[in-house]
Structure 1
Amino acid sequence: MIIEENEMKEEKNETLLVDLCEYYFLLNSVFSSELIPICVSHILKEALNKGLKEEAQKEVEMFLLALSCISQFFFIEQKLYLNEIKDIIQYHQEHHNMTHLSYQSAWQFLIRRILYDRSLEEVVVNELHFAREASRELEWLIQCVDWKRTKEERGGKIEKEEIILLRWFKTLEIYFRSCLSKNEEFAMLVGCIVQIYREAKDNCRDIRIECIESNVKVDDLLKGGAINAVSEEIQRSLFNDEMALKCTSFFMFALRKLKEKGNDEIEEEERNATKMKMFEKMEEEGYEDCIIGTLILSRKKGIIT
């Protein structure tokens, strides 16, 4: 139906075509290389047109949510989306016209394209200022989520803001893994993750785990205070608690990364300096014994091998 409607010249029903494209992305997990270009161009065109109208923001939200469903492993040519998605993001940065879910979805669609197109890194980091914008959105979510609600009070339900927050972590995971360049806004983003971790530590287990598993470089974790936050978690967690093991894995990952050889003498010196700071911090606070104790007891109980 999409192909037939797209090929019509005079009687093309644009509304029907956009609806079909939207459903195609929302209801599928495997996409066709023939349909992707058609659907992306039509949805972005409609999102851009309606994005200027306040009364159409729910429609725009569904358009961008549909686009955000496209896998990061699917290559899409820049000419099909880049100018339009940049216009959508930059217009929102100036006018704040979209819903929070719309904005997150727009970023998720763009960040997922980096895997196959490294040239997008400069656009994402320095032109569109992803770290600054993500920090602003995370700070808003920190204020909106009811962190004090217990598991019993939740009754298995999750707030819309928590869903958006968890979606941001999926986007951040790709960003931290894909973007090698950083600007001065990066530390602010790491600091937001640490703040979310501290807020979530009592009642929001899923969010805490997402914070722990964020793929950030060790020196950035030190600057942002993440090492302290994770160390505190080990002290407060039970030895058979999954969180204690996640935290232990976090430290083992950090130490493993620090043992890697640098590309040159300067990087090697920086890595050694970071390693020294981390060991000093662990020894000063007594965290090293906690980590070793967690590993020993976990092995005895058969939790890890």
Structure 2
Amino acid sequence: MGPVVSKFINELSKKPRIERFSKLISGLRNFNKTDQKEIIKELESVMKAMDKNELKGALTVGVFEEIKRMIEDRKLGSDNDYLLMKCIGYWKAMKNIVICNFGKSSLCKRFELMIFEEMNKKEGKNEKRLIGLYESYYLLSDDSIHENLAPIITSCLLKVASDKEESPETEKEVEMALLALSEGSRGILVKGAQHLQEITRIIFHHNDHRNLTQLAFQCAWRFMINNWNSNSNSQIVVVKYMNFLTVVKRELEELAKCVDWKREDEEKENSLAEPKATQIIVRWLDVLGYFFIMCNKWDDDFYELVRFIVELFRTARDNEQEISEMCAHALKMLAHNENSSVDAFEKCGVLDVISEELQQLKLENRLASDCLSIYLQIVRRLSNNSGDETDEEKRKELKRKMFEKLEEEGLEDVITSFHETLEYNQSYYDHSLSLNIFDYFVNV
């Protein structure tokens, strides 16, 4: 590292991380190509150390506009444009951030133009640069993917992920391609069965050869679930043939073993970043939320997975807030699915963990909103008579247990304490929350 760039980086070392991020970006234009690579490395370490809210606050439209001006002024060295954007996109994805500021900025259109220009070169096309542009674009585009680019980029990145000799050298390339595909699948559904067939082949190949990293495997499944057809046949394939529920439980169990659940807040603050395992757990739970609201095909593995999520919820509540919030989010999606089993909430311990949470939550809190939403949805479903005699007996039994829990644990008073903040929670977190406090009570 040269003395000038070293001095520049050191001068910023004591500043708050968001300010350091912004000044490192704007300072890139003052250095040569080699020094810019050192600044990009420093940017990566800053983003790695940021928490989710810090990085979200740093990724402003203004930052993307500044990068666009540097590209147009030719102030970014060759390939440093996509390397910078891929670095930002990687950490945006790993912090599980959904933000539309890239799409709102003129950098998005500029990137699309750069992609088209590289694609249409008759001579001297740079495949490495093109793949880097593809990955950067997908990693950053939450809702702004050009419909003519989507099939081309998807096909190319699937090829990168599958047509590789299995070696440590290519493992990172495969992981990055699948991460980009999983992020891009937020913004546009793939057209054509061949893309889903290819991702299915990648998943089955991993089951046989264990050739993907834990993150890459999660990304392959995220791409699959975000693009699956919710018709009956597709659900049978995913649930029965591909054993999705069993796979998720296995992966979550393995990842949970890698997390130091007793880590103190001070230790977490002093570490460079939260462990990768916790980030992948959050990503799995995000996928499960979408799966739970869409699926209507359940088997015995479903109950085992829900039980594990309940236990993960309890384990994470003390010092892994994002994991506990994502557990609650996944369970909320399940509660909103009218096709989920009505007795699963009692049988798998959902009612117990929600009861525990409601008795210790702050009033204006996303977790409080999700727990109330789960509770409300269960009460609403129990208020409707079932046409099936067996289900009707289960409904009455669960209704009785919920009524007893209300009385024994004082939940009626706990829920009443949320009454004055229900409108706040409805406005900011969950519009489906009822403002009528009596809707939350069970009458037998």
Which deviates more, 171-180 or 237-246?
A: 237-246
The structure with more radius of gyration: 2
1:80-159 matches, within 5 Å, as 80-114=194-228, 120-155=234-269, 157-159=273-275
Separation (CA, whole Å) in 2 of partners of 1:239 and 1:21: 43
Counterpart residue identity of residue 304, structure 1: L
Does residue 170 (structure 1) correspond to residue 289 (structure 2)? The answer is no
Could you report, residue by residue, the CA deviation over 1:224-280 in whole angstroms, capped at 9, with x for unpaired residues? Answer: 222222223334x15747455543332112111233454xx22xx344333333233
Work out whether residues 72 and 115 of structure 1, in 8 Å CA contact, stay in contact via their aligned partners in 2: no
1:293: which partner in 2?
A: 413
Separation (CA, whole Å) in 1 of partners of 2:184 and 2:274: 24
2:354: which partner in 1?
A: 230
Give the TM-score normalised by the residue count of structure 1: 0.86
Which deviates more, 107-116 or 270-279?
A: 270-279
1:195: which partner in 2?
A: 311
Work out whether residues 234 and 290 of structure 1, in 8 Å CA contact, stay in contact via their aligned partners in 2: no
Work out whether residues 5 and 12 of structure 1, in 8 Å CA contact, stay in contact via their aligned partners in 2: yes
Separation (CA, whole Å) in 2 of partners of 1:9 and 1:28: 28
Q: C-alpha root-mean-square deviation of aligned residues, in Å?
A: 2.7
2:302: which partner in 1?
A: 186
Partner-residue secondary structure (3-state), 2:422: coil
Could you report, residue by residue, the CA deviation over 1:138-177 in whole angstroms, capped at 9, with x for unpaired residues? Answer: 1012211111123333228432211111111110011111
Task: Give percent identity, aligned residues only.
Answer: 35
1:246-285 matches, within 5 Å, as 246-260=370-384, 262=386, 265-266=387-388, 269-285=389-405
1:208: which partner in 2?
A: 324
Q: Structure 1 regions of 5+ residues with no counterpart?
A: none
Change (3 A) 1:204 1:40: same
Q: Structure 2 regions of 5+ residues with no counterpart?
A: 1-113, 335-339, 424-444
1:75: which partner in 2?
A: 189
Could you report, residue by residue, the CA deviation over 1:8-66 in whole angstroms, capped at 9, with x for unpaired residues? Answer: 67865433332221122123331011000110001101110126334311111110000
2:46: which partner in 1?
A: none
Change (3 A) 1:297 1:62: same
1:25: which partner in 2?
A: 138
Change (3 A) 1:286 1:79: closer
Change (3 A) 1:205 1:153: same
Work out whether residues 203 and 220 of structure 2, in 8 Å CA contact, stay in contact via their aligned partners in 1: yes
Could you report, residue by residue, the CA deviation over 1:190-227 in whole angstroms, capped at 9, with x for unpaired residues? Answer: 12211201211222222222222222234323232222
Change (3 A) 1:51 1:2: farther
Counterpart residue identity of residue 185, structure 1: D
How many residues are matched? 298
Which deviates more, 87-96 or 215-224?
A: 215-224
